[in-house]
Structure 1
Amino acid sequence: MKLTILGCYAATPRTITNPTSQVLEIKNRMFLIDCGEGTQVQLRKNKIKFSKINHIFISHLHGDHFFGLVGLISTFMLLNRESDLHVYGPKGIKELILMQLRAGNSFTGYNLYFHELESKDSEVLFEDEKVIVKTIPLKHRIYTNGFLFQEKNKERKLNIDKIQNLGIDVVYYQKIKYGGDITLDNGTIIPNHEITFDPEHEKSYAFCSDTVYDENILPIIENVDVLYHEATFLEKEAHLAEKTMHTTAKQAATIALKANVKHLVLGHYSTRYESIELFKTEAETIFPTILLAEDGKEFAF
């Protein structure tokens, strides 16, 4: 599981910082999460292939989280994209994007699907045989969702030595991987657990930006491997966090602790602070495994 931070700062882009956007690679799927201004430039800088992005998840309709979307959609068109593109976001996103395309007499040569969200309960947005993606309802000034990405490891691992010692034919391997028992020629039934190992740990990633401190998300993100949680302010500006419906670094760490996550990645920093290390210092008083998002930084889990 690989996370590439394209942008991780709040509000407006600057020459040295970019608004929210990131790419998650999980089980050979590539998902774009939010699409602030400059996203496609950051994609190029980080050498991420545009053609691998088939699903884009937009948390909410504040500009620093989606103003780069119409540009990216247009660039896909200029690159002669043929594969389908799916965009998941709040109700209204389809109208906003299509209005801009129509005004410029621009139309995609590929199928563009919008999946508009309205539910305030967690729901499944995407699922295939390897990955499932769900919403994490957040509390912000407008309708907002985070996203939970989870691996699906159905296949058990073969105990090759034992299988070969029993003389089991290779044609049964797929059945065994999916939990099937085997009957030998002499009628002996070999239970699956005797000839396989448990599947690898199913990794998970939760993206939570933008939101106030909200313990209602705990049941959804409990025990995830990696939590990205906004930390717009430090605790001394907690009054601003409350006013703007954002979170402090200390509050984000408290969520991570109560959810029993393995790693906490902080981001969505206000640019008022001289160093993002201040966020880590504050959060570490609550939660030990703090990672700081930075534009262009890659994390492998």
Structure 2
Amino acid sequence: MDFELRILGSSSATPSANRHHTAQVLTLGNQHHLIDCGEGTQMQLMLYRIKHQRICSIYISHLHGDHYFGLPGLLSTMHLQGRQSPLHLFGPPGLSEILSLQFKYSGTNLNFKLIFHELDTTSYKKIFEDKSITVHTIPMEHRVPCCGFIFREKPKPRPLIKEKLPDFLKPPQLVRLKWGEDIRDEAGNLLVRNEEVTLEPKRSRSYAYCSDSRYKPSLLPYLHHVDLLYHEATFADDLRERAEYTFHSTARQAAELAAAAQVRHLLIGHFSVRYKDLTPLLLEAREVFPATDLATEGSIFAVKDQE
């Protein structure tokens, strides 16, 4: 299954000519999960040829405009282009009311089912699950209710070593072997030892999205050993006091959190428009955590299950 993140926007409160408001697409298998939807997101989807009809769910972290102003337009385009499949929308209290008013006064009646899930932004909670993944909220510390999201693959089955499988095994027994069980007879006698006929499963991958927030070490238990961590880095560390005042983080703080959590790969984004050149932010983070990259427009970050 593909596990790939595409960055659509990396700017903070105001956009610039080269940087758009926050939005990301996480592709898992044949489905797209849109994370935040700043102004212009649907234009970025078109630019990078991402089919919005394949978006199965949208996650909005908080109600500052640079994270959701693109949502009414995207939903309207989906409607105008004939979307029929249901769409799950996860967001904080107030988002449903905002969309209802928007559609009421524009006379828009969506021709697809929009399933809204109101989030508790103060807790770590499972909000989505299918046969392949789970999604949990993680609480951020921002000026308005705000949460991040962690996407995790479920444990994978163990590959069978076909040449070592006894002929007498039936399909239900093969399934049990794939999930790590030994095979015994009705009396409890061991017939097939799992570890002798199976291989280690491919590892399960994970992505954590930390939206706007002050530096928050209490996130460590949730982020421990994730493959890919996105953390906002609005300012360089010489503006740490301003970051604290505005409920944001610095590039160094994002790296400190990544290092403490022992993640595999850190992405930093949500850059203040004051930074025309992002190199100093990247170098600042890499001093603490070398496996850091900029989450800038068009960048793709894939996580392999063999790594």
Normalised by the size of structure 2, how large is the TM-score? 0.93
Which residue matches 2:98?
96
Which residue matches 1:2?
4
Normalised by the size of structure 1, how large is the TM-score? 0.94
Aligned partner of 2:84 among 58, 82, 85: 82
Is the CA contact 2:225–2:264 (under 8 Å) kept in the aligned structure 1? yes
Listed as ranges, the matches of 1:225-264 within 5 Å are: 225-264=227-266
Q: Residue type matched to 1:178 in 2?
A: W
Aligned partner of 2:148 among 146, 149, 158: 146
Is the CA contact 1:10–1:269 (under 8 Å) kept in the aligned structure 2? yes
Q: CA RMSD in A?
A: 1.5
Q: Does 1:218 align with 2:230?
A: no
Is the CA contact 1:60–1:144 (under 8 Å) kept in the aligned structure 2? yes
Which residue matches 1:167?
167
Is the CA contact 1:27–1:131 (under 8 Å) kept in the aligned structure 2? no
Q: Does 1:121 align with 2:117?
A: no
Structure 2: how far apart are the matches of 1:183 and 1:281? 57
1:54 partner SS: strand
Structure 2: how far apart are the matches of 1:106 and 1:124? 32
Deviation at 1:297, TM superposition (A): 1.1
Which residue matches 1:50?
52
162 and 214 in structure 1: CA distance in 2 versus 1, 3 angstrom threshold? same
Deviation at 1:119, TM superposition (A): 4.7
Aligned length: 297
Q: Residue type matched to 1:114 in 2?
A: F
Gaps of 5+ in 2: none
Structure 1: how far apart are the matches of 2:21 and 2:84? 28
Q: Structure 1 stretches (4+) deviating beyond 6 angstroms?
A: none
The share of aligned pairs that are identical, in percent, is 43
Which residue matches 1:156?
158
Q: Residue type matched to 2:254 in 1?
A: A
2:46 partner SS: helix
61 and 188 in structure 1: CA distance in 2 versus 1, 3 angstrom threshold? closer
Deviation at 1:175, TM superposition (A): 3.5
Q: Residue type matched to 1:103 in 2?
A: Y
Which residue matches 2:62?
60
Aligned partner of 2:42 among 34, 40, 43: 40
Q: Residue type matched to 1:153 in 2?
A: P
Structure 1: how far apart are the matches of 2:6 and 2:44? 10
Gaps of 5+ in 1: none
2:288 partner SS: coil
Q: Deviations over 1:55-84 (max 9, x none)?
A: 100000000000000111111101111111
Q: Say which is worse superposed, 172-181 or 268-277, in terms of deviation.
A: 172-181
